[in-house]
Amino acid sequence: MSDRLFYVYEHWRPDRGECFYVGKGRGGRANHMKPRNAHHMAIQAKLARLGTCVEVRIVADGLSEDDAFALERERIAFWRADGADLANMTDGGEGFTGGRHGCDTRKKMSSSRTGHSTSAGMRKKISDKLKGRKFSKETLAKMAESQRKRFQNPEQAEKILSSLRMASKTNQTPESRRKRAGKLRGVPRSEECRAKISASNKGRTISVEARAKMAIAKLGKKQSKETVEKRIATIKRKRELSK
C-alpha cells in the first residue's frame, strides 16, 4: 500500500480573496470544517452570515507524510511573510495521523490548563468582537443542544448550578434580583417542570424565621428588627395553638 496518501490544502475566504489557513491531511480532511480552532470557526461564522462559505484549494497531493509536513510549513511561512492573518496556531509540521492521546497524556494536558486564566485585556478583546454579533437559528439550536447535554450529566449540572447560586448571591443587586423576578412572573411551566418542582418540595419544612421573612417580603416594604421579631413570635404562637 502506498504511503503517498497525503496532501496540503488551503482554506480561502471569498469575501477577501485571501488564504486564512494552511493544513495537511488525507481523505476528506480538507473539507471537514469541524473541529477547528476558535479563529477558524469565527471566520466560518462570518462567511455564513455573508451567505458564502470556505473555499478549499489543494496545493499538492500524492505526498508522503513527511513531504506534506514540509510543504505545510513552507506555505504557512510564505503567507505569514506576505502579511496574511492566518488562523494557524503553529508554524506547521506537528501532529500525527490516526492516533489518540493516551490517558497519561490527556491528564497532563488537562492539568496544564487547570488554573489558567485569561488576561483582562484578552477578555476585553473577545468581548468587543462578540458585541452586536448575531447567530443564525441553526447555530442557536446547536448551542442550546450543547447546553442540554451539559445538564444531562449530574455532576456537571451540579457544578453549573452551584456557580450560578454563588453568582446570584454575590453579584446581583437587589434591583437586579427584582427585575429578574419580574421577568419570570407569569412564565408558563410545563407539566413535567411542575411535577419536578412538586417532588422537590415534598417533605420540605420551612422554619418559622423563613416564613416570617417571606410574609414580610410580600408586604413590599422594609421592616424594623422589632417588627420582624414580633412577626416571628406571632407565627410561633399560632403554631403552638394549632397543635
- List pLDDT tens digits, range 173-183: 667 777 766 66
| CA dist., res. 91 & res. 76, Å (int) | 6
CA dihedral over 79, 85, 96, 104, signed as positive or negative: positive
What is the pLDDT at residue 113?
56
What is the pLDDT at residue 88?
92
**Buried b / exposed e across 22-37, counting CB within 10 Å, b at 16+?**
bbbbbeeebeeeeebe
Cis peptide before 188 (omega within 30 of 0): no
* Residues in the chain, pLDDT under 70: 1-2, 93-119, 121-136, 139, 143, 146-174, 180-189, 216-223, 225, 242-243
Identify the helix (H) or strand (E) that includes residue 88: none
Instruction: Catalogue the E-assigned strands of the chain.
Output: 6-13, 18-25, 55-63
Backbone angles phi, psi at 166, to 5 degrees: -65, -40
pTM for this prediction: 0.42
Contact 37, 45 (CB under 8 A): no
What is the pLDDT at residue 1?
42
What is the pLDDT at residue 99?
45
What is the pLDDT at residue 146?
66
Residue 67's contacts (CB-CB under 8 Å, 6 or more residues apart) are: 6
What is the pLDDT at residue 13?
92
30: which DSSP letter?
A: G
**Distances in Å between the alpha carbon of 151 and those of 83, 114, 126, 187?**
44, 22, 26, 21
What is the pLDDT at residue 103?
63
Q: The C-alpha cell of 173 is what?
A: 443587586
Contact 60, 37 (CB under 8 A): no
Contact 8, 75 (CB under 8 A): yes
